[in-house]
Amino acid sequence: MELWDLYDSERRPLEETAVRGEPLPEGARHIVVNICVFNACGEMLIQRRHPDKVGFPHFWDLSAGGSALAGETSAEAAERELFEELGLRASFSRQAPVLTMTSADCFYDIFFADIDVEPDELVLQAEEVVDARWAALPEILSMTDRGEFIPYRRPLLELLFEAHRGDAVRFSDEGL
């Protein structure tokens, strides 16, 4: 049984947990993390989800991701998911997520890691991941158009690559 900590719309802890698979109380959210691993060529490591996964079975996806377990910070969840799914270690404890998005039931925290690794060196979590490889943005967009990649919105995928390159708009205390 997987337990998630619950938060209100302002990300304040509700001091309640929910069981994965059960409906969340109205207005409650939990934390989901995604990790985008990039190599020195600016390609993203992508993974192919197991055909038995609920939600987008056998689709290609971002490098790793999943829900934060009760008691975990999003950084701790990102470290755990990256290791569980791909056998990679990275520390996110000293950084905030690169991007946080909110949906009706989740806060999505996205972290970046720069790791040069050969896909055949990865230790894939057999029940979740069946393949992994490097891909550049145009290939990922093409895969999305063909229905092979989870249908993230094109601007989000572009933003991830732009932010990794440092091309994303930066805000300062003075504004734009």
Give me the number of domains the chain comprises. Answer: 1
Residue 92 belongs to a domain: yes
H or E stretch including 134? strand 129-135
Mean pLDDT in residue range 15-28: 96
* 171 lies in some domain: no
* pLDDT tens column, 159-175: 999 999 987 555 444 44
- Residue in 93, 112, 129 with CA at minimum distance from that of residue 165: 112
What is the pLDDT averaged over residues 62-91? 98
Percent of the chain topping pLDDT 90? 93
Is residue 170 assigned to a domain?
A: no
Q: What is the CATH number of the domain that holds 81?
A: 3.90.79.10
Residue 158 lies in a domain: yes
**pLDDT score of 175:** 44
pLDDT at 44 over 60: yes
Q: What is the pLDDT of residues 107-161, one digit of tens each?
A: 999 999 999 999 999 999 999 999 999 999 999 999 999 999 999 999 999 999 9
Residue 3 has pLDDT above 50, yes or no: yes
Within a domain: residue 41? yes
Q: pTM of this prediction? A: 0.92
Q: For 10-27, give the DSSP string.
A: T--EEEEEEETTSPPPTT
Cα–Cα distance for residue pair 97/78, rounded to 1 Å: 10
The whole domain housing 20 covers: 3-165
- 127 falls within a domain: yes
Please report the pLDDT score of residue 174 as a whole number: 47
Task: Report yes or no on 135 lying in a domain.
Answer: yes
Q: Is residue 172 part of a domain?
A: no
pLDDT at 15: 96
